[in-house]
Amino acid sequence: MIPILYASQSDFEAKFARLVDARRETESNVAGVVADILKTVKMRGDAALAEYTQRFDGYALASEADWRIPLEDCARAYAELPADLREALDLAATRIRAYHAAQLPQDRDFTDEAGVRLGAIWRPVDAAGLYVPGGRAAYPSSLLMNAIPARVAGVERLVVTTPTPRGETNPLVLAAAHIAGVDEIWRVGGAQAVGALAYGTQRIKPVDVITGPGNAWVAEAKRQLYGVVGIDMVAGPSEILVIADGQNDPDWIAADLLSQAEHDPTSQSILITDDAGFARQVEDCIDLQIAQLSTARTARTSWDAHGVMIVVNDLLAEAPSLANRLAAEHVEIAVDDPERYLSAIRHAGSIFLGRMTPEAVGDYVAGPNHVLPTGRRARFSSGLSVLDFMKRTSFLGLDAASFAAIGPAAATLAHAEGLPAHAKSVELRIR
């Protein structure tokens, strides 16, 4: 039985603080191993990739045909999908594309009151690398969520790396790659694939930005390579916070909590409610539903180890402040009037409003990106967007009159900072 934290109890603050400060990221010291892999890939290129792929995936990159998945295979996989699945992927892609198109920033170009021309130009990066996991986390939805914003941003070259254990490919992932218009798909995975995307090898040209989910080694590789390339984020285990009153169907809320628990044994599901009886009903429903899941082992481990229920006295008065401290990846607000909560919750990766908005819809077809900050990083970061594949270049232009208006102040500040060459470059023009 999952313990319930009661906000009215004297030890609640201490228990809640431990919950906020807890870390579920992999504790294994992978940094050294990843550093060695990245160094080897940088030095030896394709030879290193071939050795690691044989060792970790049991797949030999022997001939040229072994390295890449032909785009024709992606088109074939799409064509051979059952009609309902193809239509679902198409719907998801259409909605994701429309939502992210609305994110495109506007260039600026104006002249201020001093006569100085100022502005900024937004431009896409030249190439983006998209990491697509294999095995349990081979999700076509993630490929769409990463590739489509890059295309909307205007990125010209989209490169996918994905492990294919024993040569096996996921037809759904290939179909998603076709829909998104991916340019290259390489049969390499792990930290070595991230290194190849960042440094380039004899076959794989380097990219400017790397995005996409992965295991602890992939996340660590992205962390170490930030600065060589841009990255989306260093993501940890998935999490959901559900704020729900007792008027909900406990089966619905149980399913919502399990939708994250089934991702990984380290995922976390939290319920905040003002009804202790409802909390116990939800727990009973969770026990019943887990037994029916094909992902039961993962969901049970996650729920037993990291599941939390919190009972407060006043849901509207107390839940938002608790949510802000948790800064969860996903926050569901299952009440009649979620708008009042929305205005009070400042820190969340994505917020799902009302009883009919389960987080799972956001994972697939709603439109907003499902690549979101975890581990309380929503306090300072945002979900993936077109801006992750773009950069802003400012520009300015002065004529004689505007230079006379602001130039002397620049020279004064340059002298104050002890930079005489800076000052001289201004003063020569003043004279």
The predicted pLDDT at position 215 comes to 87
The predicted pLDDT at position 188 comes to 96
Amino acid symbol at 421: A
Q: Whole-angstrom distance between the N-terminal and C-terminal Cα of the chain?
A: 81
**Cut 0.85: pTM above it:** yes
Domains of the chain plus CATH, in order, are 4-25+236-366 (3.40.50.1980), 31-107+125-231 (3.40.50.1980), 398-430 (no CATH)
Strand residue runs (E) in 336-407: 350-353, 390-397
Q: For residue 144, give the H/E element and its range.
A: helix 140-153
Give the angle 268-270-272 at the CA atoms, nearest 5°. 170
- How many CB atoms neighbour CB 284 within 10 A? 14
The predicted pLDDT at position 190 comes to 95
Q: For residue 423, which phi and psi values (nearest 5 degrees)?
A: -60, -40
Dist CA 130 CA 333 (whole Å) = 32
The predicted pLDDT at position 32 comes to 93
Is residue 13 part of the annotated active site? The answer reads: no
Closest to 131 (Cα-Cα) out of 201, 48, 49, 222? 222
Burial status of residue 228 (CB atoms within 10 A of its CB: 0-12, 13-18, 19 or more): middle
Catalytic residue (one of 262, 329, 332, 359): 329
Is residue 330 part of the annotated active site? The answer reads: yes
Evaluate whether 170 touches 85 at the Cβ level (below 8 Å).
Answer: no
The predicted pLDDT at position 37 comes to 97
Quick one: tokens of 78? 């799409």
The predicted pLDDT at position 28 comes to 63
The predicted pLDDT at position 380 comes to 96
pLDDT digits 0-9 by tens, 18-37: 999 987 665 568 899 999 99
Taking 50 as the pLDDT cut, the residues of the chain under it are none
Catalytic residue (one of 100, 178, 330, 370): 330
